[in-house]
Amino acid sequence: MRSMLKTSVAAFAMLAAAMGAASADGLTGNLKIFLDTSNPAPRATMEELIAQFQEKNPELNIETTVIDREAYKTQIRNFLTANAPDVATWYAANRMRPYVEAGLFEDVSDLWAEPEIADNLASTKGAMTIDGKQWGVPYTYYQWGVYYRKDIFDELGLSEPTTWEEEKANCQKIIDAGKKCYTIGTKFLWTAGGWFDYLNMRTNGFDFHMDLLTGKASWKSDEVRKTFANWRELIDMGAFIDNHQTYSWQEALPFMVKGDAAAYLMGNFAVAPLREAGLSDDQIDFYQFVEITPGIAKAEDAPTDTFHIPANAENKENAREFLKFAVSPDVQTWINDGKHLGQLPVNAKSSVDDDKFLEQGFEMLSSNSPGGVAQFFDRDAPAEMAKVAMEGLQEFMVKPDNLDKILDRLDRAQERIYK
Please give the Cα distance from 33 to 30 (Å, whole number). 10
Q: What is the pLDDT of residue 370?
A: 87
Q: What is the pLDDT of residue 22?
A: 37
What's the whole-model pTM score? 0.77
In tens digits, what is the pLDDT along the chain, a chain of 419 residues? 334 344 434 334 434 444 443 334 589 999 999 999 998 989 999 999 999 999 999 999 999 999 998 899 999 999 999 999 999 999 998 789 889 999 999 999 999 999 999 999 987 887 898 999 999 999 998 899 999 999 999 999 999 999 999 999 999 999 999 999 999 999 999 999 999 999 999 999 999 998 999 899 999 999 999 999 999 999 999 999 999 999 999 999 999 999 999 999 999 989 989 999 999 999 999 999 999 999 999 999 998 999 999 999 999 999 999 999 999 999 999 999 888 988 899 998 998 988 899 889 988 887 788 887 888 999 899 889 999 999 999 999 999 999 999 999 999 999 999 98
Q: Which of 390, 365, 340 is nearest to 45 (CA)?
A: 340
Q: In angstroms, how far is CA 318 from the centroid of its own chain? A: 27
Give me the phi and psi of 412, to 5 degrees please.
-65, -40
Name 377's Cβ contacts closer than 8 Å, sequence gap at least 6.
190, 193, 194, 196, 197, 213, 386, 389, 390
Name 364's Cβ contacts closer than 8 Å, sequence gap at least 6.
143, 145, 288, 300
Please give the Cα distance from 46 to 14 (Å, whole number). 17
Q: What is the DSSP letter of 121?
A: T
Name 173's Cβ contacts closer than 8 Å, sequence gap at least 6.
156, 157, 158
Q: How many distinct helices (H) and strands (E) make up the chain?
A: 19, 14
Q: What is the pLDDT of residue 26?
A: 81
Q: What is the DSSP letter of 344?
A: B
Strands 304-308 and 133-134 come out as unpaired
Q: Please check whether residue 259 is in contact with residue 152, taking contact to mean a CB–CB distance below 8 angstroms.
A: yes
Please give the Cα distance from 196 to 388 (Å, whole number). 14
Distances 293 to 8, 201, 205, 296, 396 between C-alpha atoms, Å: 54, 9, 9, 6, 22
Q: Which of 308, 389, 375 is nearest to 93 (CA)?
A: 375
Cα angle: 361, vertex 367, 369; to 5 degrees: 75
Please give the Cα distance from 417 to 214 (Å, whole number). 10
Please report, to the nearest 10 degrees, the dihedral formed by the alpha carbons of residues 89, 95, 96, 97 taken in order: -170
